[in-house]
């Protein structure tokens, strides 16, 4: 897909992509807190 846009629009697209990735990262961090974590035994590290 080729975007034929001007410089200002490229910057806007970059900010939108940054925001999407940032929000996905925050969501993943929030969901990760609900996961179960188990301690490894001595021989499993």
pLDDT tens per residue across all 45 residues of the chain:
455 656 788 889 999 999 999 999 999 988 888 777 777 777 665
Per-residue confidence (pLDDT) for residue 35, from 0 to 100: 76
Residue 13's contacts (CB-CB under 8 Å, 6 or more residues apart) are 3, 5
Q: What does 1-45 look like in DSSP terms, one character per residue?
A: ------HHHHHHHHHHHHHHHHHHHHHHHHHHTTS---PPPGGG-
Per-residue confidence (pLDDT) for residue 20, from 0 to 100: 98
19 class by beta-carbon count within 10 Å (0-12 exposed, 13-18 middle, 19+ buried): exposed
Per-residue confidence (pLDDT) for residue 22, from 0 to 100: 98
Per-residue confidence (pLDDT) for residue 18, from 0 to 100: 97
Residue 37 CB-half CA count within 13 A: 5
């Amino acid at each position: 897909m080729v975007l034929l846009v001007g410089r200002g629009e490229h910057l806007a697209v970059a900010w939108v992509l940054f925001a999407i990735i940032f929000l996905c990262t925050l969501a993943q961090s929030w969901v990760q807190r609900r996961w179960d974590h188990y301690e490894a035994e001595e021989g499993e590290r």
